[in-house]
Amino acid sequence: MTNLQIGLVHFMAFPEAREDDGSLLESLQRLALDPYWGCIELKAIASPEAEAQVAALFAGSHIDLLVGSQYTLPSQKLNLNSLDASLRQQSVDTIKRDLDQASRIGAKGLAVLSGPLEGSDSAARDQARVALTDSLSELAEYAVEVSPDPSQPLCLELETFDDTIDKRSLIGPSTAAVELATEVTTRVDNFGLLVDLSHLPLLGESPHHALETTAPFLTHLHIGNCLMRDEASPLYGDYHPPFGYPGSENDVEEVADFLSALLAIGYPERDYATRRPTLSFEVKPVPGQDPWLLLADNRRVLEAAWQLLEED
């Protein structure tokens, strides 16, 4: 599996653990016992007691932690590119608190997403891009301030999401993400882009196009699935159903294509904030599905995808 380490977006795989400290700690303990996992991505933890237990569990574990504030922002109706100055500042301040926690638990980085566009004309879009650039730059600078070792600061990442179907995020297409990252990295060094296979069909982009385009700024990858053929489905849009779910877009062949694309840009040979370049599963169980069975199936899909590449 080359030099990649495999991660898991915990709050997607275990939705019941989002607000239940018992489920959170039980699932994390079980994951920490399995050497397959090299990285766990957590939502912000509300309870100080649970935060302390998570920090203790992973201290010295050789498992990287990342914080996924992609959950924080939409769940609180926040928007880092809002044209409402008060809402934008509230959004920035909230993510700063997530960064504080990321530092306390020993995380290596934190990811965010852009908000929806407020307005439909080109002027509103230009203003939103300026607002987002300012927000990301401020957050990346703050990430350095709160890092235990400023020479190895927390990495701030922006994940690209669909811009027309579900999240309707400002960023968006890979070309727009690169334009933004080019501007942000003129101000800060600890910023990168996160690309998720789940979002590429929603964006109408192939893995090779998305990864080749974002390669100069790419710091992190997710693999998952989406459903976009049946608007009546409760899983329509960006709901991360299991691989191969009926009517969905991604299964073994699509994962293999994504692996081919990441190898083509040399992703496994780069240095990142995490110990090794990370490829994380982001898949959610459907109602009634055991998340542990889902994780086992994820692993089978990835192994089959690698085998498919080897056969080619």
d(CA 65, CA 195): 18
Q: What is the DSSP string of 94-122?
A: HHHHHHHHHHHTT-SEEEEE--B-SSSSH
| Alpha helical stretches, state H, 147-251 | 174-184, 200-203, 207-214
Other CB atoms within 10 A of residue 64 CB: 23
pLDDT digits (tens, 9 = 90+) for 186-200: 999 999 999 999 999
pLDDT at 121: 84
Q: Residue 312 — very low, low, confident or very high, per pLDDT cuts 50/70/90? A: confident
Query: What residue type is assigned to position 161 of the chain?
Result: F
pLDDT at 150: 86
Q: Residue 16 — very low, low, confident or very high, per pLDDT cuts 50/70/90? A: very high
Q: Is the pLDDT of residue 180 over 60?
A: yes
pLDDT at 124: 93
Other CB atoms within 10 A of residue 271 CB: 8
Instruction: Tell me the chain's radius of gyration from C-alpha atoms.
Output: 18
Which strand (E) or helix (H) includes residue 40? strand 37-42
pLDDT at 199: 98
pLDDT digits (tens, 9 = 90+) for 253-297: 999 999 999 999 999 999 999 999 999 999 999 999 999 999 999
Which DSSP letter does residue 116 get? B
pLDDT at 120: 78
pLDDT at 20: 92
pLDDT at 1: 57
To the nearest whole number, what is the mean pLDDT of the chain? 96
Q: Is the pLDDT of residue 40 over 80?
A: yes
pLDDT at 290: 97
pLDDT digits (tens, 9 = 90+) for 100-155: 999 999 999 999 999 998 987 899 999 999 999 999 999 999 999 999 998 899 99
Query: What residue type is assigned to position 114 of the chain?
Result: S
Decide if 81 contacts 116 (C-beta within 8 A).
no
What is the average per-residue pLDDT within 87-112? 98
Looking at the DSSP assignment, which residues form a beta bridge with residue 111?
68, 157
How far is C-alpha 305 from the chain's CA centre?
21
| Interstrand relation of 278-281 and 5-9 (parallel, antiparallel or unpaired) | parallel
pLDDT at 294: 98
Closest by alpha carbon to 98, among 122, 55, 68, 120? 68
d(CA 51, CA 62): 18
